[in-house]
Copies of this chain bind each other. A is one copy, B any other.
């Protein structure tokens, strides 16, 4: 396996430079008030000193009896200490890894997984299932503070956080070796796949048989089937293929109480959904070991193109009209004016003659009221659906869209897994960069979009920075869509995490207070945990915490994350206060 970038995204030998994008830095410098001298280099890996693994040699021997491939070296522990959130990358660059996992195990099969769980229960250790490690919500963090915040069910059955047990051993369970397609049913179009299989391997095997899962999240290169299911992920083409919970026919989960497997049938009326209880459980109820997934024949034709609307509002109206007809696009990705402008400013350098042609083209477009400065760019893709493509494009044109052809869409498709690499380049240059997402109904979408953008900009201003906030609509439904927000700002050096928390907290509060989902596909982890009672109501969360206690009575599984956080009361202040205490941060 090619070496991974320990402090950032992806392969160490791969990057996404802005050097061939001549307008990029000028645009960013102006938009973010960059002064040109900001850098935040990563520390020297060899300077990192982790605390010694807290396993006794007897414990380590016992663990190696179960999984000979148990690692305690610095590299393995660093690579499994965090996910890939902005908070994580800042800490990694600084070399701040006070609570790495004590060991990383690579079990080869479900039996070994179950035995590692039993080992943890017997040794009062915490176990963190680890797939691709691409969580941006702290879902795989091996922190003491996080891992010790488990739940206890007292006699009166009220759930309260238990006291921190900072000496609790923490083990990361990497599922990389559970990576087989176990069975493929061509008749029913389903495949039973082990949870640790990564996107590219999974698609390669399915493609060889003529099928696809159709799940292509931005983390595709590294993330795993189990991680997608555990977090309720969404692929870029989810409008056609469905979110992962719709693609999952059944799951198999190793819990501390034993194996739970749901029935592999297309639909049921057998009470509350056990399947949808396990899907999204974020490692807190057990380790997903395999799942039977709905797959489809590989598409024979694709039609991806870009369209330009005169305004985001026009584009939203078209997107809604499209979704509420019976047309099913693979992708409808509509950028707002700010994202459209940025997309254009960050474009690749073209040969000089093309730049001349482009300028003429843009002037002509401008004459008709279209502009990359004030317009809204849409990527509209269809697969195996020429009639739908035609009808969808017609709807867009009836809302004033100009068809830009296939070129831009092809660049987007080509680069869709590359942009996470850009984050590292921006951070190298002292730029705070993060994304967040929500989903809401069509009637609430534009209001939430505006409020959220203003909120993020205001919060950044509080930290002394001018923010660039860009949003797109994607993952569309008949009743609404997700909003995906990217924000950039000049780093507040020395206070990078506090700055980011100020913005993240304001944005999350804005989403929850304004009718958005706490998350559409990133999950809860601990970053969103302080709001989960408001999302589900305190009583609703009591019900889910009861499930946690029933399946994981010793709080072995991924403790301290979404099912653990419990504000003293349901109020916002309490939630925020809780989060601050949780992170032990100054107000």
Residues of A at the B interface (CB closer than 8 Å) are: 153, 155, 157, 185, 187-190, 231-234, 243, 245, 249, 255, 257-282, 284-285, 294, 296-297, 320, 324, 326, 328, 384-385, 387, 438-444, 475, 477-482, 515-524, 528, 532, 535-537, 539-540, 542-547, 549-551, 553, 562-563
Give chain B residues whose Cβ lies under 8 Å from the Cβ of A294.
Answer: 478-479
Of B185, B245, B297, B439, which one neighbours A273 at CB under 8 angstroms?
B245
Give chain B residues whose Cβ lies under 8 Å from the Cβ of A277.
Answer: 272-273, 276-277, 543-544
Cβ B272 vs Cβ A276 within 8 A: yes
Cβ B188 vs Cβ A521 within 8 A: no
For the complex formed, measure the closest distance between the CB of A410 and the CB atoms of chain B, giving whole angstroms.
23
Q: From A156, which residue of chain B is reached at the shortest CB distance? A: B553
Cβ B268 vs Cβ A520 within 8 A: yes
Cβ B189 vs Cβ A268 within 8 A: no
Q: From A275, which residue of chain B is reached at the shortest CB distance? A: B276
Bound Cα distance A270, B542 (Å): 15
Cβ B387 vs Cβ A269 within 8 A: no
For the complex formed, measure the closest distance between the CB of A282 and the CB atoms of chain B, giving whole angstroms.
6
Give chain B residues whose Cβ lies under 8 Å from the Cβ of A522.
Answer: 269
Bound Cα distance A114, B278 (Å): 30
Q: List 5 A-B contacts (CB under 8 A).
A: A257-B539, A262-B536, A271-B523, A272-B278, A547-B547
Q: A262-B536, A273-B277 are in contact. Are A479 and B546 (CB under 8 A)?
A: no
For the complex formed, measure the closest distance between the CB of A214 and the CB atoms of chain B, giving whole angstroms.
12
Given contacts A263-B518, A544-B547, 8 further A-B contacts (CB under 8 A): A155-B155, A249-B479, A260-B537, A267-B520, A268-B535, A270-B519, A272-B279, A277-B543
Cβ B540 vs Cβ A271 within 8 A: no
Bound Cα distance A25, B520 (Å): 58
Bound Cα distance A477, B268 (Å): 12
**Residue from A188, A284, A544 having most chain B Cβ neighbours under 10 A:** A188
